[in-house]
Amino acid sequence: MQANVRIATLDRRAAMATLLADRPANLFVVPGLGSCTWDAFAAGDDDRNFYLWGAMGGAAMIGLGLALAQPKLRVAVITGDGEMLMGLGSLGTVGMQKPANLAVVVFDNGHFGETGMQASHTSGAVDLCAVARGCGIERVMDVGDEAGLRELAGLLANSDRTLFARVRIAADDPPRVLPEKDGVAIKDRVRRAVAKAAGFTPA
Ligand SMILES: Cc1ncc(C[n+]2csc(CCOP(=O)(O)OP(=O)(O)O)c2C)c(N)n1
Protein backbone atom coordinates (compact mmCIF):
# COMPACT_ATOMS: atom_id res chain seq x y z
CA MET A 1 0.00 0.00 0.00
CA GLN A 2 1.19 3.50 -0.81
CA ALA A 3 2.26 5.54 2.22
CA ASN A 4 0.45 8.74 3.12
CA VAL A 5 3.22 11.10 2.00
CA ARG A 6 2.80 14.36 3.88
CA ILE A 7 5.50 16.47 2.27
CA ALA A 8 3.52 19.36 0.85
CA THR A 9 5.35 21.99 -1.13
CA LEU A 10 3.34 23.09 -4.17
CA ASP A 11 2.27 26.72 -4.27
CA ARG A 12 -1.54 26.78 -4.27
CA ARG A 13 -1.97 29.76 -6.62
CA ALA A 14 0.53 28.35 -9.13
CA ALA A 15 -1.08 24.90 -8.88
CA MET A 16 -4.53 26.32 -9.63
CA ALA A 17 -3.12 28.34 -12.52
CA THR A 18 -1.51 25.20 -14.00
CA LEU A 19 -4.72 23.19 -13.66
CA LEU A 20 -6.79 25.85 -15.40
CA ALA A 21 -4.27 27.13 -17.97
CA ASP A 22 -5.57 25.23 -20.99
CA ARG A 23 -9.09 24.82 -19.75
CA PRO A 24 -11.42 23.39 -22.39
CA ALA A 25 -14.68 25.26 -23.08
CA ASN A 26 -16.79 22.62 -21.33
CA LEU A 27 -14.79 22.45 -18.07
CA PHE A 28 -16.74 23.78 -15.07
CA VAL A 29 -15.06 24.30 -11.73
CA VAL A 30 -16.63 24.06 -8.28
CA PRO A 31 -14.06 25.53 -5.91
CA GLY A 32 -14.57 24.80 -2.22
CA LEU A 33 -15.23 27.67 0.16
CA GLY A 34 -12.42 29.93 1.23
CA SER A 35 -8.95 29.46 -0.15
CA CYS A 36 -9.85 27.38 -3.23
CA THR A 37 -12.51 29.89 -4.26
CA TRP A 38 -9.91 32.68 -3.92
CA ASP A 39 -7.36 30.61 -5.87
CA ALA A 40 -9.82 30.01 -8.71
CA PHE A 41 -10.70 33.70 -8.88
CA ALA A 42 -7.00 34.64 -8.77
CA ALA A 43 -6.38 32.36 -11.78
CA GLY A 44 -8.92 34.46 -13.75
CA ASP A 45 -12.58 35.14 -13.18
CA ASP A 46 -14.74 32.85 -15.30
CA ASP A 47 -18.47 32.31 -15.84
CA ARG A 48 -17.83 28.58 -15.46
CA ASN A 49 -16.67 28.89 -11.85
CA PHE A 50 -19.32 28.13 -9.27
CA TYR A 51 -17.69 29.97 -6.38
CA LEU A 52 -18.68 28.66 -2.98
CA TRP A 53 -18.81 30.97 0.03
CA GLY A 54 -20.28 28.41 2.37
CA ALA A 55 -21.81 24.93 2.21
CA MET A 56 -18.68 23.51 3.84
CA GLY A 57 -18.59 19.78 3.05
CA GLY A 58 -20.88 20.13 0.03
CA ALA A 59 -18.51 20.85 -2.85
CA ALA A 60 -18.16 17.26 -4.10
CA MET A 61 -21.93 16.76 -4.02
CA ILE A 62 -22.55 19.99 -5.93
CA GLY A 63 -20.04 18.84 -8.53
CA LEU A 64 -21.59 15.37 -8.68
CA GLY A 65 -25.03 16.85 -9.29
CA LEU A 66 -23.75 19.03 -12.11
CA ALA A 67 -21.79 16.16 -13.68
CA LEU A 68 -24.80 13.82 -13.62
CA ALA A 69 -27.22 16.45 -14.90
CA GLN A 70 -24.95 17.63 -17.71
CA PRO A 71 -22.98 14.71 -19.13
CA LYS A 72 -21.59 16.83 -22.00
CA LEU A 73 -19.79 19.01 -19.48
CA ARG A 74 -16.70 18.20 -17.48
CA VAL A 75 -16.72 19.12 -13.82
CA ALA A 76 -13.74 19.65 -11.53
CA VAL A 77 -14.40 20.10 -7.85
CA ILE A 78 -11.28 21.71 -6.39
CA THR A 79 -11.47 21.96 -2.65
CA GLY A 80 -9.52 21.94 0.61
CA ASP A 81 -8.76 18.98 2.85
CA GLY A 82 -10.87 20.51 5.65
CA GLU A 83 -13.82 20.93 3.31
CA MET A 84 -13.40 17.37 1.98
CA LEU A 85 -13.10 15.93 5.47
CA MET A 86 -16.37 17.59 6.46
CA GLY A 87 -18.16 15.87 3.57
CA LEU A 88 -16.15 12.65 3.49
CA GLY A 89 -19.24 10.48 2.96
CA SER A 90 -19.78 12.21 -0.36
CA LEU A 91 -16.82 10.26 -1.78
CA GLY A 92 -18.85 7.10 -1.24
CA THR A 93 -21.68 8.55 -3.30
CA VAL A 94 -19.21 9.62 -6.00
CA GLY A 95 -17.79 6.07 -5.99
CA MET A 96 -21.28 4.62 -6.37
CA GLN A 97 -22.28 6.94 -9.22
CA LYS A 98 -18.90 7.10 -10.99
CA PRO A 99 -19.57 9.75 -13.65
CA ALA A 100 -16.62 9.82 -16.04
CA ASN A 101 -16.96 13.60 -16.37
CA LEU A 102 -16.29 14.32 -12.68
CA ALA A 103 -12.99 14.97 -10.94
CA VAL A 104 -12.61 15.71 -7.25
CA VAL A 105 -9.32 17.46 -6.55
CA VAL A 106 -8.25 18.19 -2.99
CA PHE A 107 -5.69 20.89 -2.30
CA ASP A 108 -4.26 19.20 0.77
CA ASN A 109 -2.22 21.46 3.04
CA GLY A 110 -3.02 19.41 6.14
CA HIS A 111 -4.66 22.44 7.73
CA PHE A 112 -7.79 24.55 7.98
CA GLY A 113 -6.26 27.59 6.30
CA GLU A 114 -9.02 30.18 6.40
CA THR A 115 -9.70 29.83 10.09
CA GLY A 116 -6.11 30.08 11.32
CA MET A 117 -4.16 27.03 10.12
CA GLN A 118 -5.36 24.52 12.67
CA ALA A 119 -4.04 21.04 11.76
CA SER A 120 -6.58 18.85 9.96
CA HIS A 121 -6.86 15.06 10.07
CA THR A 122 -4.73 14.79 6.92
CA SER A 123 -1.80 15.99 9.02
CA GLY A 124 -2.38 12.82 11.02
CA ALA A 125 -4.01 9.51 10.27
CA VAL A 126 -6.26 10.27 7.33
CA ASP A 127 -5.05 9.41 3.82
CA LEU A 128 -7.57 10.87 1.39
CA CYS A 129 -6.23 8.83 -1.55
CA ALA A 130 -6.84 5.63 0.41
CA VAL A 131 -10.32 6.85 1.33
CA ALA A 132 -11.10 7.59 -2.33
CA ARG A 133 -9.87 4.14 -3.40
CA GLY A 134 -11.89 2.55 -0.64
CA CYS A 135 -14.96 4.36 -1.92
CA GLY A 136 -14.56 2.69 -5.33
CA ILE A 137 -12.97 5.57 -7.24
CA GLU A 138 -10.60 3.81 -9.61
CA ARG A 139 -8.41 6.63 -10.88
CA VAL A 140 -6.65 8.14 -7.88
CA MET A 141 -3.63 10.43 -8.11
CA ASP A 142 -1.31 11.75 -5.44
CA VAL A 143 0.19 14.88 -6.97
CA GLY A 144 3.31 16.45 -5.51
CA ASP A 145 5.10 18.09 -8.42
CA GLU A 146 4.66 20.16 -11.56
CA ALA A 147 4.66 17.13 -13.88
CA GLY A 148 1.87 15.57 -11.87
CA LEU A 149 -0.10 18.81 -12.02
CA ARG A 150 0.20 18.93 -15.79
CA GLU A 151 -0.91 15.30 -16.08
CA LEU A 152 -3.87 16.10 -13.85
CA ALA A 153 -4.75 19.17 -15.95
CA GLY A 154 -4.92 16.93 -19.02
CA LEU A 155 -7.13 14.42 -17.24
CA LEU A 156 -9.55 17.14 -16.12
CA ALA A 157 -10.18 17.61 -19.84
CA ASN A 158 -10.37 14.00 -20.95
CA SER A 159 -10.39 11.34 -18.21
CA ASP A 160 -12.54 8.38 -19.18
CA ARG A 161 -13.42 7.66 -15.57
CA THR A 162 -14.11 9.42 -12.32
CA LEU A 163 -10.95 10.89 -10.92
CA PHE A 164 -9.80 11.76 -7.43
CA ALA A 165 -6.58 13.68 -6.89
CA ARG A 166 -4.84 14.90 -3.81
CA VAL A 167 -2.55 17.83 -4.58
CA ARG A 168 0.05 18.39 -1.89
CA ILE A 169 0.19 22.13 -1.44
CA ALA A 170 2.19 24.16 1.06
CA ALA A 171 0.36 25.45 4.13
CA ASP A 172 0.53 29.13 3.33
CA ASP A 173 -2.02 31.90 3.18
CA PRO A 174 -1.57 34.10 0.11
CA PRO A 175 -3.35 37.46 -0.07
CA ARG A 176 -7.09 36.98 -0.39
CA VAL A 177 -8.71 38.01 -3.66
CA LEU A 178 -12.45 37.78 -3.38
CA PRO A 179 -14.90 37.14 -6.22
CA GLU A 180 -18.58 38.09 -6.35
CA LYS A 181 -20.32 37.28 -3.08
CA ASP A 182 -23.97 37.43 -4.15
CA GLY A 183 -25.04 33.80 -4.27
CA VAL A 184 -27.95 34.41 -6.66
CA ALA A 185 -25.70 36.29 -9.08
CA ILE A 186 -23.12 33.49 -8.96
CA LYS A 187 -25.81 30.86 -9.51
CA ASP A 188 -27.46 32.74 -12.39
CA ARG A 189 -24.15 33.35 -14.11
CA VAL A 190 -23.05 29.73 -13.93
CA ARG A 191 -26.49 28.54 -15.12
CA ARG A 192 -26.19 30.72 -18.21
CA ALA A 193 -22.70 29.33 -18.83
CA VAL A 194 -23.97 25.75 -18.43
CA ALA A 195 -26.75 26.39 -20.94
CA LYS A 196 -24.29 27.87 -23.42
CA ALA A 197 -21.77 25.05 -23.05
CA ALA A 198 -24.37 22.27 -23.09
CA GLY A 199 -26.39 23.85 -25.91
CA PHE A 200 -29.80 24.52 -24.43
CA THR A 201 -31.91 27.58 -23.64
CA PRO A 202 -32.06 28.32 -19.91
CA ALA A 203 -35.53 28.34 -18.34
C1 LIG B 1 -20.08 24.32 8.59
C2 LIG B 1 -18.88 25.21 8.69
N3 LIG B 1 -17.96 25.00 9.64
C4 LIG B 1 -16.87 25.77 9.72
C5 LIG B 1 -16.69 26.80 8.85
C6 LIG B 1 -15.48 27.71 8.96
N7 LIG B 1 -14.51 27.44 7.94
C8 LIG B 1 -14.47 28.13 6.79
S9 LIG B 1 -13.21 27.68 5.79
C10 LIG B 1 -12.68 26.56 6.93
C11 LIG B 1 -11.42 25.75 6.73
C12 LIG B 1 -11.28 25.25 5.37
O13 LIG B 1 -10.12 24.45 5.36
P14 LIG B 1 -9.69 23.75 4.04
O15 LIG B 1 -10.90 23.25 3.33
O16 LIG B 1 -8.66 22.75 4.35
O17 LIG B 1 -9.13 24.93 3.18
P18 LIG B 1 -7.70 25.66 3.19
O19 LIG B 1 -6.85 25.07 4.26
O20 LIG B 1 -7.16 25.41 1.82
O21 LIG B 1 -8.01 27.09 3.44
C22 LIG B 1 -13.50 26.53 8.04
C23 LIG B 1 -13.31 25.66 9.23
C24 LIG B 1 -17.67 27.00 7.85
N25 LIG B 1 -17.56 27.97 6.94
N26 LIG B 1 -18.75 26.19 7.79
pLDDT score recorded for residue 3: 54
Give how many domains the chain has, as a whole number: 1
> How far is ligand 1, taken at its centre, from the CA of residue 59, in Å?
12
Strand intervals (E) in 24-138 = 27-31, 74-80, 102-108, 111-112, 118-119
Ligand 1 centroid, distance to 167 Cα (angstroms):
17
User: What's the confidence (pLDDT) of residue 4?
Assistant: 66
Query: Is 183 within the bounds of a domain?
Result: no
* pLDDT reported for residue 70: 97
Ligand 1 nearest-atom number relative to CA 107: 20
The pairs formed by 187-194 with CB atoms below 8 angstroms and a separation of 24 or more are: 187/50, 189/47, 190/28, 190/47, 190/48, 190/49, 190/50, 192/47, 193/28, 193/47, 193/48, 194/28, 194/66, 194/70, 194/73
Mutate to test the pocket of ligand 1, among 36, 112, 120 (most ligand atoms within 8 A of CB): 112
Ligand 1 proximity of 34 Cβ (cutoff 6 Å)? yes
Give the CATH number of the domain where residue 117 resides: 3.40.50.970
Q: Does residue 145 form part of some domain?
A: yes
Write down the pLDDT at residue 7. Answer: 74
The answer to the question of residue 59 being in a domain is: yes
Q: Is residue 74 part of a domain?
A: yes
One digit per residue, the tens of pLDDT, for the chain of length 203 reads 455 666 779 999 999 999 999 999 999 999 999 999 999 999 999 999 999 999 999 999 999 999 999 999 999 999 999 999 999 999 999 999 999 999 999 999 999 999 999 999 999 999 999 999 999 999 999 999 999 999 999 999 999 999 999 999 999 999 999 999 999 999 999 999 999 999 988 77
Residue from 10, 11, 35, 88 to probe ligand 1 pocket by mutation (most atoms less than 8 Å from CB): 35
Q: Would 197 be classed as within a structural domain?
A: no
Q: What is the pLDDT of residues 97-138, one digit of tens each?
A: 999 999 999 999 999 999 999 999 999 999 999 999 999 999
Give a yes or no: residue 88 inside a domain: yes
pLDDT of residue 1: 45
Domain for residue 190, yes or no? no
- Does residue 182 sit within a domain? no
Residue 58 CB less than 6 A away from ligand 1: no
Full residue range of the structural domain in which residue 147 is found? 22-174
